[in-house]
Amino acid sequence: MKDYEEVIKLDNEDFLIVSRLNYEGKEYLYVNSLVNESDYSILEEYEKDGRTVVKSIDDDKYELIMNLFTKNLINDNN
Amino acid sequence: MKNDEFELYYKFTRKLQKEKQIRDIDRKMLDIANSSRKRRRFDEQTEKISKQKKTRKFYKTRARALVFIISVSLGLGVGTKALYDEVAPIITVYVQNEADNYTLAEWFGYYNVSDEGYFLDSQIKREVNDGWFNEGPMPFDYTDPENLSITEDGRKVGAIVDYYNGFNRYLRSNIDKGYYETIYTQMERLASIGKDPNSIDSLYTFEELTEMLGKEEIKGMGVN
């Protein structure tokens, strides 16, 4: 078991990286705020000008990615 | 009621409830998903990831988030039916520990649905002293609506809520004195006053029960 959790800072607010998944070569993160636990986001991670950047996914991808996170989670727990 | 008799009743009612249960879970999960979470959107920004030591807060946040992911995903509509072919989700509950203090326990249980019916694949994860202990598979399907219990005056108490009370008794007892018998007795009591012992609406968390009944402490089966 890992001793540490990954936390990403977004708009100066800490978000816990709850889960990661790779889909069609893209890396997605499910993050949950550590300040207000009811806030969450799904981020896409990519490279730009030599930097790793993140941004929220588009609405049209939301449903698909959310379902993939669910299936990953279920597999992890099995 | 002996264990083998209970098992027969259990399997029968479980089959009858399959369709209804799926519909009810769909609705309940969607309610959960819509009631409390807000999706934040962020424009492009440089990734700044740090590693922080695990604390109780991290565990708690992670657990709630994971339950939410399942809830939302199952409530999204498109793709929902396909997911039901594999799983149905369960819930975060508060349980009572040995020191009579309430602690957060996360319980993930899944129904694997096939032509033969439901198969429970579940595990208990319990938070103790800032760590989680996997307590292994449950001896019984506590998410099944047939496993309801009810207090003496007819108030409904979710079987999930009763897990620790019942399981402890089960472990300490011999045959005919275990949790199966206890559950069945509670189901009979429910039916005798005209309630539906198979309603999934009868599953509550301690928090919900506390709010509903206006009491400070809800401890589970037969206790208010």
pLDDT at A24 over 80: yes
**Nearest Cβ partner for B53 among A4, A41, A54:** A4
Asked if B60 lies within 8 A of A74 by C-beta distance, the reply is no
Q: What pTM, to 2 d.p., does this model score? A: 0.45
Q: Report the complex ipTM.
A: 0.88
Residue among B40, B59, B74, B123 with most chain A CBs within 10 A, to mutate = B40
The predicted-structure confidence for B66-82, as pLDDT tens digits, reads as follows 667 766 665 553 333 33
Asked if B42 lies within 8 A of A54 by C-beta distance, the reply is yes
At B31, the pLDDT band (50, 70, 90 cuts) reads low
The predicted-structure confidence for B147-163, as pLDDT tens digits, reads as follows 434 333 333 333 333 33
Asked if A56 lies within 8 A of B40 by C-beta distance, the reply is yes
Output the CA–CA distances (angstroms, integers) from residue B7 to B83, B110, B181, B193, in the order listed.
28, 20, 10, 23
How far does A75 lie from chain B, in Å, by closest CA? 11
At A44, the pLDDT band (50, 70, 90 cuts) reads very high
First to last CA, chain A: 16
Average pLDDT over residues B156-171: 33
Asked if B42 lies within 8 A of A77 by C-beta distance, the reply is no
Please tell me what DSSP assigns to residue B115.
T
- Written as six digits, the tokens of B150 are 């009810």
